[in-house]
Amino acid sequence: MEALFVTLQKILPKRFLSDCVGALTRIQAGALTHTVIRAFMRFYPVELREAEHTVVTDYPSFNAFFTRALGPGARPQPEGADEIACSADGVVSALGRIEQDSLLQAKGVDYATVDLFAGDSALADYFAEGSYQTIYLAPHNYHRVHMPLSGKACALRYIPGALFSVNAVTTRRLPGLFCQNERVAVVFQHQRGYFALIMVGAMNVGSIQLTLPGEGGFRNRLQASQQPLQTYPLDGPVLNRGDEFGRFNMGSTVIFLASRDLLRLDENLDHGSHVQVGMRIGKLIDGAT
């Protein structure tokens, strides 16, 4: 059944279906929209009490509900200035050291950093022998992504691609899944190294939107000024730990990369760990302030 599920994904018009879902989620249909949201909340364990708007009727569309903001104080950041904060709500699907340019996708399945950056070896080299964490965002999760530590955006690479599901079945069954799907990667410069946030698109993802200052609300649909497989240099302001980085209009996966000797991930994190924005996931190595 798992093999059949993946085979069907290869056949289905994934982009067309995803575009249709994205359009439907933006319809403002009043009472009908609110009925759909309530039905979704009965099926999934959405915690609306922590959101900025806690009443269903405050959301004009399903997408507004799906990309809801958090209320003040809902995700406090770690107390220590040298602590690393989790960038997204979800489940850790993989984490650890980047061994010989290789990251774990699932048990027995790995992929190369250079493939994740679609052949840009200069970006991939920043993270040789570094660390990584992959978070899967389920439909009920909070779908905004935040900065794990402070840094200045220095490069953006947008890679068009497929829109396979990123659930556990497809992750196990489809080698190189994250290197096949559409994604946008932003590399940040820290005082002692580099880190990157990579937002991976998936089936039914209407769009990936970045909220980087000066990027004009970048979305993962090619515009006339954008060329695929091109790395764009950035000279953005320094973003602080906890600042919003981007959001998924529908859900997917976030990959966090860190260069060698920048940070150490906490040992209590493991495959299957449930994490939230602001939760401590590691600590800067001594001197990497």
* Residues 145-178: tens digit of each pLDDT: 999 999 999 999 988 888 888 878 888 878 888 8
Report how many helices (DSSP H) and strands (DSSP E) the chain contains, helices first. Answer: 8, 17
The string of DSSP letters for 100-141 reads TTEEEEETTEEEEHHHHTTT-HHHHHTTTT-EEEEEE--TTS
Across residues 236-264, what is the average pLDDT? 89
Across residues 178-184, what is the average pLDDT? 88
The one-letter code for the residue type at 183 is R
pLDDT band at 214 (very low <50, low <70, confident <90, very high): low
What integer pLDDT is reported at residue 227 of this predicted model? Answer: 54
What integer pLDDT is reported at residue 58 of this predicted model? Answer: 95
Cα distance between residue 156 and residue 229, in whole Å: 10
Least confident of 38-52, 108-122, 193-207: 193-207
CA-to-CA separations, 192 to 7, 16, 26, 256, 259, in angstroms, rounded: 44, 43, 42, 16, 9
Q: Which residues are catalytic, by number?
A: 89, 146, 252
What integer pLDDT is reported at residue 182 of this predicted model? Answer: 87
What integer pLDDT is reported at residue 224 of this predicted model? Answer: 41
Flag whether pLDDT at 217 surpasses 60. no
pLDDT band at 240 (very low <50, low <70, confident <90, very high): very high
Residues sharing a CB contact under 8 Å with residue 224, sequence separation 6 or more, in sequence order: none
What integer pLDDT is reported at residue 229 of this predicted model? Answer: 65
Q: What percent of the chain has pLDDT over 70?
A: 91
- Give the tokens for residue 13: 């018009």
Q: Which residues pair with 239 in a beta bridge?
A: 151
Across residues 68-81, what is the average pLDDT? 92
Q: Do 52 and 244 touch, CB atoms closer than 8 A?
A: no
Length of the chain: 289
pLDDT band at 255 (very low <50, low <70, confident <90, very high): very high
Per-residue burial over 47-80, b = 16 or more CB atoms within 10 Å of its CB, e = otherwise: ebeebeeeebeebebbbbbbbbebeeebbebbee
pLDDT band at 220 (very low <50, low <70, confident <90, very high): low
Q: What average pLDDT does the chain have?
A: 86
pTM: 0.90
Between CA 13 and CA 18, with CA 17 as vertex, the angle to 5 degrees is: 115
Flag whether pLDDT at 52 surpasses 80. yes
32 burial via Cβ count (<10 Å: 0-12, 13-18, 19+): exposed
